[in-house]
Chains A and B, each alone.
Chain A
Amino acid sequence: MAPAQAHGTPAVPESGITPVAVRSGIAVEINGERFVHTGDPQMPLLWYLRDVLWLTGTKYGGEHGENGADLVLVDGKPVSAIGQPMNRLADKRITTVEGLAANDGTLHPLQQAFIDEDAIGCGYCTPGWLIAGVALLKRKPHPDDSDIDQLPNSCRCGVQTRVRAAIKRAAAGKAGPA
């Protein structure tokens, strides 16, 4: 039974539900939405995205993120999500592969260029290539081959030549269905 209502307080129907105190946590903005992480502050962003939010576009590649499959943009810069504990990300703006397209579904020019060049092998590390490529195009809208050479990603399917073509296609503004 609920305790008797204090005098002057509106009566609350009995529900048996005890309100939980608002928990404090780490506020982050992911793909334009606000989230508050209330778990272990040491948890890497990768597992927060994949396990908690079920945003699984960002992939696990390795303990140190060396193959680039787990790249995300933090305040516009490409970083490995597994190397970013949540407590370093308070109030940061994070973009994952799911957030590259516009809200109406219009693809980022590089996403469209990947489709046009069929720059896809097994596709597992494609999100990482996209994040690295989007960051490069933002930094340098017309990258040359030596800029593209600096991408940190690796891939056994051998998409490198097609990714190079896709980045150049996007840079030239040619992206779009043929």
Chain B
Amino acid sequence: MSANTSNGIRLSRRRFLQVLAGAAGALVVGVRFAEAGEPPLPPEWLGNDFHDLGAYVRIDSEGNVLIGARDPDTGTGVATALPMILADELDADWNRVSVVHLGLGVEAGNDGHPLWTYGRQRGGTGDSIPAAWADLRLAGALARWLITQAAARRLGIAADRLRCEAGTVIAPDGRRVTYGSLVDDASKLDLPTHAPAPKPPQRYTLIGKPVGDVDAHAIVTGQAKYAIDHHEAEALVAVLSHCPWPDGSLASIDTAPALAVKGVVKVLQLKPEADQPPGHTVIAPAVAVLAESTWAALQGRDRLKLEWKPGPSAAENSAALEQQATALLDSQSAPTTRVRDDGDVEKASKYAAIRVEATYYQPWLAHACAEPMNCLVRIDKDKASLVVPTQSPQQACAVVQRLTGIAPESIAIRVPRVGGGYGRRLDHDYVAEAVLLAKAANKPVRLLWTRGEDFTHDYYRPASVHKINAVIDHKRNLAGWNQRIASASALAGRGVPADRLWSSEVSADQLPAGLVPNFRSDWYAQQSALPRGPHRAMPHLANAFAAESFIDEIAHQLREDPMKTRLRLLGEPRSITLQGGGTLDTGRLRNVLQLVADRIDWKDWLHSVNGLGIACWHMDGAYVAHAIETSLQNDKLGIERVVCAVDVGRVINPLGLEGQVAGATLDALSTALNLAITTRDGKVQQHDWKAYPLASMAQLPNSVETIIVPDDGRPPAGASFLAMPTAAPALANSVFRVSAVRVRRLPLMREFLRLS
């Protein structure tokens, strides 16, 4: 036991900065989350099991640095960016840093509730970096402080005269001591009474520098293991056939042909639990074939003779829902929620010089994760271990606990790199299925959803209809904006109060709120049986398409350059307080807009043979603009150039950010061009990639020119889906310039062909 067994610096009621002596004489520092008054973790807890490292850094006597990334990396680059923050603060040599994807950190709490060792653990929700920014720097700063103190004692020089560089402490006289040789001494030092201050930003050496993905080598060599790649001794492979209707039931089943397949062991049935919210239970009634191999399970499923009985949802179809939404918005009936009402839109309407109205239609969307839903689970008497592709291991743990009664601290959840999330993996219906099957079969289970199940049993992004009326006054200013949105809330049935169901469908602060004196935003609830849930950049994706297309329509009515219309609307640089917290800085928004305009030569806007389109947006304290150039040759639409500018405050990894910006842009273009989920007789019509065709290489631009606003004065904002919302409206606006066809319905390609 080392001297600082219970050495911790309290940062807040629940957070401790802590040093642990590892079994191998390493220095281990991290932020630990604990209840007040609870003793910090004993060092035995750590042992040599690197998987148990939290938001921690471990430096061993060889100088190797191991950093745990607590949030799941679904392709957002957090497993690279989070460790960079800590490594910079530590002045570590990045070439000596290894990153571990952490599993769930959970211990027994004092009141029966689980205690989350690492604080929040969530990925793909755009807030990993802002949430960890402060703690990671403190952990790195403490490790560096301890190492410097140890060096000071060894060299006989005051600590404040030493400097650290790439894993080495350097004295003024040129003497150098490596971190590795100091960790044993450092781990025995008493801690300071207060957390050492992090570096001033001008001394950052890694933050702000381009760093490649930490998993890149493993990925390109095929060695990276996703959850779907994991095996377990004696595990049965489970493949499912779900009822096409979430509220349907099994009418008849003949399992004999399936059981006759060599290797098929069992056929089991699953049913949703009526008292559980979506994402906590099975998504629809299902029959599972359990077999000794995937191939046997698949053959068994193909031979099942099933008849499903429809439930009430069989009356639903997406085209009728859209008609109903349109009728609702035309009816002048009272909205479900008046989300925002500034000034007096009715009065403004009386003094209108010009009125503009348009209605926009956007479809249901699937998540279409590359790695289909899957889960590996082993349940022993009083413990469980799982490998789960999840964005929220804590939620996954809650599902396992509820279904097994096993205490959270005995549930081990490993989360390797995840093959895409986009919100789908915040729900854990597939974990519930795997657990129920493992219990019933009394064997470990490796659950695999085939692609057809993945497309037809999703928590979809709901379709929406947006109708906007604008009033232009005699000074050609936008005096009134009245938007009405009808959709089936993605939050319905999820324990959210009725008066908050709008919040997944519209933001109270979305553009041009705060910029128009008379502004109203109404939401009309629709009912649908189709499962719905969180989806990438929701609700901004749908709202930006409507609002930023509409601003272009206003500019057209005014016979004005749409860039000028936007700049007039934004006005002088100023800070506007948002209803949802935070501010809108119109100067930062103007800046990103101007940057993309300059890069794409916007001054040629009117005379360009190709069409130029532009759009801007703000969300969660970050700013984005797109400018897109499209061409039309022989009725063939081509995306010639795409420029995107982002302002996210401080940038941790510009290479990672560029990847996120290009990636989100291409995802948004692919979605806008091609994608829609439709239902007929309550059944989802899209079963495969052919019916839900992500854009091909040929459809997409050859490059995305990315401009990152250098902004070191602010803490980092989230960025993983920042570039989603403005791509579609910039595209539609450019298509209007090149073709005179105004696309108000997505997907754009189908609508463009219909209209032109």
Mark A residues whose CB is within 8 Å of B: 40, 43-44, 47, 50-52, 54-64, 66-67, 69, 96-98, 100-101, 107, 111, 114-116, 118, 120-127, 130, 145-146, 148-151, 153-165
Contact of A156 (CB < 8 Å), options: B221, B690, B694: B694
Q: Nearest chain A CB to B177's CB is how many angstroms away?
A: 29
Interface core residue of B237, B665, B695 (most chain A CB under 10 Å):
B695
Chain B neighbourhood of A60, CB < 8 A: 228, 372, 448
B665 touches A158 (CB 8 A): yes
Q: Report chain A residues within 8 Å CB of B368.
A: 156
- A115 and B220 within 8 A (CB): yes
CB neighbours of A156 from chain B (8 A)? 368-370, 420, 422, 667, 670, 694
B294 touches A50 (CB 8 A): yes
Complex-state Cα separation, A127 to B369, whole angstroms: 16
Which residues on the B side are within 8 Å of A100 (C-beta)? 220-222
A54 to B7, CA, bound (A): 44
Q: Are A121 and B698 in touch, CB under 8 angstroms?
A: no
- Kindly identify which residue among A44, A58, A157 contacts B222, using a CB–CB cutoff of 8 Å: A58
B688 within 8 A of A: yes
Please provide the chain B residues from 379 to 431 with a CB less than 8 Å away from any CB of chain A in the complex.
Answer: 417-420, 422
Q: Is the CB of A97 within 8 A of B451?
A: no
Assembly CA distance A28 to B507 (angstroms): 57
CB distance from A47 to the nearest CB of B (A): 4
12 CB contacts below 8 A, A to B, read A51-B293, A55-B222, A59-B228, A59-B370, A59-B419, A61-B451, A69-B370, A100-B220, A123-B215, A124-B420, A127-B220, A150-B698
CB pair B294 A160 closer than 8 Å: no
B512 at the interface (CB under 8 A from A): no
Q: Are A67 and B689 in contact (CB under 8 A)?
A: yes
The residue on B at minimum CB distance from A98 is B222
Tell me which residues across on chain B come within 8 A of A111, comparing CB atoms: 220-221
Do A97 and B74 form a contact, CB below 8 Å, given A64-B688, A67-B370, A122-B420? no
Residues in A neighbouring B451, C-beta threshold 8 A: 61-63
The listed residue (B73, B221, B655) touching A98 by CB distance below 8 A is B221
Give chain B nearest CB distance to A5 CB in angstroms: 38
Determine whether the beta carbon of A44 is less than 8 Å from that of B695: no
Is the pair A121, B221 in contact by a Cβ cutoff of 8 Å?
Answer: no
With contact pairs A59-B371, A127-B222 given, residues A120 and B694 touching in the complex (Cβ less than 8 Å)? no
Contacts of B422 in A (CB 8 A): 156
In the complex, the chain B residue whose C-beta lies closest to that of A159 is B663
Bound: A3/B74 CA distance, A: 62
Are A164 and B371 closer than 8 Å at their CB atoms? no
Asked, given contacts A63-B688, A150-B698, A161-B702, whether A51 binds B295 with beta carbons under 8 Å apart, the answer is: yes
The reply to whether the CB of B452 lies closer than 8 angstroms to some CB of chain A is yes
By the criterion CB–CB under 8 Å, are A148 and B294 in contact?
no
**A-contacting residues, B182-221, CB 8 Å:** 212-213, 215-217, 219-221
- Checking B216, B222, B694 against A57 with a beta-carbon cut-off of 8 angstroms, the contacting residue is B222
Most buried by B among A123, A149, A153, A159: A123
CB neighbours of B634 from chain A (8 A): none
Q: Is the contact region of chain B dominated by helix, strand, or loop, or is it mixed?
A: loop
Q: Are B295 and A40 touching (Cβ within 8 A)? A: yes
The 9 closest A-B pairs by CB, nearest first: A57-B222, A122-B75, A158-B666, A124-B419, A158-B663, A62-B451, A97-B222, A56-B229, A149-B698
Assess whether A122 is in contact with B370, with CB atoms less than 8 Å apart: yes
A40 in contact with B695 (CB, 8 Å): no
**Given A63-B452, A115-B212, A157-B370, does the pair A164, B670 have CB atoms closer than 8 Å?**
no
B700 CB–A CB distance under 8 Å: yes
Q: How many A-B residue pairs have CB under 8 A?
A: 181
Given A122-B75, A123-B75: A66 touches B220 (CB 8 Å cut-off): no
Whether A121 and B222, one on each chain, are in contact in the complex, defined by CB atoms closer than 8 angstroms, is no
| CB <8 Å contact, B452 and A122 | no
- Is B694 in contact with A154, judged by CB distance below 8 angstroms? yes
Q: Mark B658-695, 1 if CB is under 8 A from A, else 0.
A: 01001111110010000000000000000011100111
Contact of B666 among A44, A58, A115, A161 (CB under 8 A): A161
From known contacts A51-B294, A118-B213, infer whether A155 and B694 are also in contact, taking CB-CB under 8 Å: yes
The answer to whether A122 touches B697 (Cβ under 8 A) is no
Q: Name the B residues within 8 Å of A125 (CB-CB).
A: 370, 419
Q: Is B153 close to A, CB under 8 A?
A: no
- Known contacts A126-B220, A156-B420, A158-B670; can you find 13 more A-B pairs with CB under 8 A? A57-B221, A59-B228, A63-B451, A115-B217, A115-B220, A120-B220, A122-B74, A122-B418, A123-B215, A146-B698, A156-B694, A159-B663, A163-B697
By beta carbon, the residue of chain A nearest B218 is A123
Q: Which residues of the other chain, B, contact A118 by a CB distance below 8 angstroms?
A: 212-213, 216, 655-656, 659
Task: Assess the B697–A164 pair: CB atoms within 8 A.
Answer: yes
- Smallest CB separation, B436 vs chain A (Å): 23
B703 located at the interface, meaning its Cβ lies under 8 Å from any Cβ of chain A in the complex: yes
Q: Which chain B residue lies CB-closest to A145?
A: B702
Known: A40-B262, A97-B222. Contact between A164 and B213, CB under 8 A? no
Is B696's CB within 8 Å of the partner chain A?
Answer: yes
Contact partners of B667 in chain A: CB under 8 A: 156-158
Chain B residues whose CB sits within 8 angstroms of the CB of A157 once the complex forms: 75, 370, 420, 663, 667
Could you tell me if B694 and A67 are in contact, using CB atoms closer than 8 angstroms?
A: yes
Cα separation A58 to B223 with both chains bound (whole Å): 10
**A144 CA to B575 CA in the complex, in Å?**
48
Which residues of A have CB within 8 Å of B450? 62-63
Question: Is B157 at the interface (CB under 8 A from chain A)?
Answer: no
Tell me whether A107 and B220 are in contact in the complex, defined as CB-CB below 8 angstroms, given that A51-B294, A63-B450, A63-B452 are known contacts: yes
Q: Does B231 contact A (CB under 8 A)?
A: yes
The chain B residue sitting closest to A54, CB to CB, is B231
CB of B701 within 8 Å of the partner chain: yes
Question: Chain A's nearest CB lies how many Å from the CB of B451?
Answer: 4
The smallest beta-carbon distance between B528 and chain A, in angstroms, is: 24
Q: State how many angstroms separate the Cβ of B410 from the closest Cβ of chain A.
A: 28
Q: In the assembly, what is the distance between CA of A69 and CA of B229, in Å?
A: 14
Q: Beta-carbon contacts of B433-469 to A below 8 Å, as 1s and 0s?
A: 0000000000000001011100000000000000000
Within 8 Å CB of B213, what residues of A?
118, 120, 123
Contact A161–B662 (Cβ < 8 Å): yes
List A contacts of B698 (CB < 8 A): 146, 149-150
Give the distance in Å from the alpha carbon of A148 to the alpha carbon of B371 in the complex: 24
Interface string of B50-72 (1 = CB under 8 A from A): 00000000000000000000000
| Residue in B220, B690, B694, B700 whose beta carbon sits within 8 Å of that of A114 in the complex | B220
A165 to B706, CA, bound (A): 14
CA distance in complex: A51, B448 (Å): 12
Residue interface mask B252-294, A partner, CB < 8 A = 1: 0000000000100000000000000000000000000000011
Q: How far is the CA of A153 from the CA of B420 in the complex (A)?
A: 16
The CA-CA distance from A43 to B263 in the complex, in Å, is 13
Inter-chain contact A130/B220, CB cutoff 8 Å: yes
Give the chain B neighbours of A127 by CB distance below 8 A: 219-220, 222
With both beta carbons as reference points, the residue of chain A lying nearest to B366 in the complex is identified as: A156
* B704 lies within 8 A of chain A by Cβ: yes
The answer to whether B688 touches A66 (Cβ under 8 A) is yes
Measured CB to CB, the nearest residue on chain A to B215 is A123
Q: Once bound together, how far apart are the Cα atoms of A47 and B565, in whole Å?
A: 57
Shortest C-beta distance, B8 to chain A (Å), equals: 36
- Contact at B703–A115, with CB atoms within 8 Å? no
| Residues of chain B contacted by A116 (CB below 8 angstroms) | 212
B3 at the interface (CB under 8 A from A): no
A150 near B697 with CB under 8 A, answer: yes
Cα distance A122–B101 in the bound complex, in angstroms: 14
The distance from the CB of A139 to the nearest CB of chain B, in whole angstroms, is 16
Interface contact B295-A43, CB-CB below 8 Å = yes
List chain B residues, Cβ under 8 A from A163: 697
Shortest CB-to-CB span from A56 to chain B, Å, is 4
Specify which of B223, B370, B689, B701 is in contact with A161 (CB 8 Å cutoff): B701
B contact residues around A124 at 8 Å (CB):
226, 370-371, 419-420
Whether B155 sits at the interface, judged by CB under 8 Å, is: no
